[in-house]
Amino acid sequence: STIQFAGALHATIVKQVCLKNPSTRTLAYNAFLVGRDADEFLLPKGNTVTIPAMQQGFVNVEFTIRFLHPAEAVLLLISNKVDGIDGATLTFSLKSEVKTIEPLGMIKCRSPCYEL
């Protein structure tokens, strides 16, 4: 699935990916960001998540929109073997979109249009 980061230019957007563990054993995942613009995305709470049996865990992904062109990356979650069980490898497409451009400030200046 695709996680969309849409907002104003220079805005920081945080999305949370919810991972559910339906098994009776603990699951653990290592998160990796790969792709063309992977350096633009951030995992602020670290790149590991442990999900207790029959519960859910969360992976936060942060992105600051710095450019007008769309950024793209992939969030890759690879299972660590815990309690002798492996989870499925999960992938999420990350895409950004600039919705608005807000001015950071305004400057008034006065000058002649031309001189003879």
pLDDT in tens, 23-48: 888 899 999 999 999 999 999 999 99
Whether the per-residue pLDDT at 16 is higher than 80: the answer is yes
Residue-level pLDDT at 41 = 97
Residues 6+ apart with CB under 8 A from 11: 64, 65
Whether the per-residue pLDDT at 49 is higher than 80: the answer is yes
Question: 2-100 sits in which CATH class?
Answer: mainly beta
* pLDDT tens profile 56-110: 999 999 999 999 999 999 999 999 877 667 788 999 999 999 999 988 788 998 8
- 0.85 exceeded by the pTM? no
Residue-level pLDDT at 14 = 97
Residue-level pLDDT at 83 = 67
**53 within 8 A of 24, measured Cβ to Cβ:** yes
Strand segments, DSSP code E, in 1-116 are 2-8, 12-20, 27-34, 41-42, 48-51, 56-64, 72-80, 90-100
Domain boundary assignment for the chain: 2-100
More reliable by pLDDT, 24 or 12: 12
Residue-level pLDDT at 46 = 92
